[in-house]
Amino acid sequence: MKNSLHLEMYRRMVRIRRFEAAAVDLLAKGELAGGLHTTPGQEGAIVGACVALREDDYMVGTHRSHGHPIGKGASLRGLMAELMARSTGVNRGKGGSMHLADFSVGSLGETSIVGSGLPIATGAALGAQMKGTDRVSLCFFGDGASSEGTFHESLNIAAIWKLPVVYFCENNLYAISTPARETVSVEHIAARAAGYDMPGHVVDGQDVLEVYEVVKSAVDRARSGGGPSLVEAKTYRFEEHAIGLNHLSYREHAEVEQWRKRDPIALFRDRLLDEGVISRGDLDKAEEDVGAEIGDAIEFARSSPDPDPAEAFDHVYATTLETGA
Ligand SMILES: Cc1ncc(C[n+]2csc(CCOP(=O)(O)OP(=O)(O)O)c2C)c(N)n1
Ligand SMILES: [Mg+2]
């Protein structure tokens, strides 16, 4: 792997962390409305998986998905404007935090309905196959979603039709306050792949390079007609389920602290420096550049107009196919 790919991975992880920190700050200041489900701790899983895709491949996120479009290469301006409900947002300011679709980078969107992304990603893979393209679809979902019916139905049909899809579970050990160990029938969600006769892999979600390598091989397999795979990343969210839900006490403080020691960004930075892959100066410069991008995105959003109320019912139903696919 080349240095430039490592640096881009680092940049995207930092971009996600800082973008969300800025959004939380804007929420506190009242410049942004609604809730935010943030993802600190899970950036390695998100970026490692997204970077394994080609730019024209598809990706579907979850309700916790500011990071996934960023991982897929979306520009911050349209995402920040969407969070701030401006007409220049990726969904014209009508979607908000849980609906950050950006078709320009193959990001097909997110919704608040847990498990709803699985059939969408499966459908995108079916579309790619029927059109004879070699596009692959990457589907993110959580440990909670892995017990929804949509998970099982999607994996079954994808296996039968050998669809080019990679199912990627971010197992952060909890669905809101419910531990996966109390609701998931297997120790490793990846073991469920066997029931659908597809490969299942467990990866360390705090290790962006391990995630990248495993997802890349699953993507290559899907692209060459080998069918779907299931990848489970063991990871952790450092913050609460959503901003403002700080009253919940379902996790031991020591557990949170233990995972915080395995911050995927810090681990990657240390490794790049230890192995001499990228200089400290280049990493610092990447962080500085991301800081400037965030500032630019906020200014862009602040100076953008609100959506026109006359457009409220536009784009509810598709009249033309806008994906360019
Ligand atoms: C169908 C459905 N059921 C329940 C909810 C309420 N809900 C929102 S997020 C969430 C937890 C999802 O957990 P997981 O899939 O592990 O994702 P995580 O929040 O950990 O990223 C639940 C139950 C919902 N939004 N949709
Ligand atoms: Mg979870």
- Does 43 have pLDDT greater than 50? yes
Q: Which CATH class is domain 3-294?
A: alpha beta
Q: Half-sphere exposure of 135 toward its Cβ, with a 13 Å CA cutoff?
A: 24
- Give pLDDT, residue 1: 47
Q: What's the gap in Å between 175 CA and the centre of ligand 2?
A: 4
**So where are the chain's domains?**
3-294
CA atoms of 217 and 303, how far apart (whole Å): 43
- Percent of the chain residues topping a pLDDT of 70: 97
Asked if 216 and 52 count as a contact pair (C-beta separation under 8 A), the reply is: yes
Q: What's the gap in Å between 112 CA and the centre of ligand 2?
A: 14
For 7-25, what is each residue's pLDDT tens digit? Answer: 999 999 999 999 999 999 9
| Pocket perturbation via mutation, ligand 1, pick of 114, 171, 250 by most ligand atoms within 8 A of CB | 114
CB burial readout 23-42, b (16+ within 10 A) else e? bbebbeeeebeebbbbbbbb
> Do strands 178-179 and 174-175 pair parallel, antiparallel, or not at all (unpaired)?
antiparallel
Section 159-172 average pLDDT: 98
Q: With bands split at pLDDT 50, 70 and 90, how would you rate the model's confidence at 316?
A: confident
More confident residue, 164 or 277: 164
- Percent of the chain residues topping a pLDDT of 90: 91
Ligand nearest to the CA of 245: 1
More confident residue, 154 or 314: 154
For 91-112, what is each residue's pLDDT tens digit? Answer: 999 999 999 999 999 999 999 9
Q: Which residues line ligand 1 (CB under 6 A)?
A: 62-64, 112-115, 142-145, 172, 174-176, 241
- Give pLDDT, residue 273: 97
Least confident residue range of 32-36, 84-88, 114-118, 293-297: 32-36
- Give pLDDT, residue 323: 57
What atom of ligand 1 comes closest to residue 143's alpha carbon?
16
Mean model confidence pLDDT for the chain? 95
| Cβ within 8 Å of residue 258, ≥6 positions away | none
- Does 47 have pLDDT greater than 90? yes
Q: What's the gap in Å between 62 CA and the centre of ligand 1?
A: 9
Q: With bands split at pLDDT 50, 70 and 90, how would you rate the model's confidence at 166?
A: very high
CA atoms of 135 and 123, how far apart (whole Å): 12
- Give pLDDT, residue 317: 81
- Give pLDDT, residue 320: 64
Q: Which residues surround ligand 2, an ion (CB under 5 A)?
A: 142-143, 172, 175
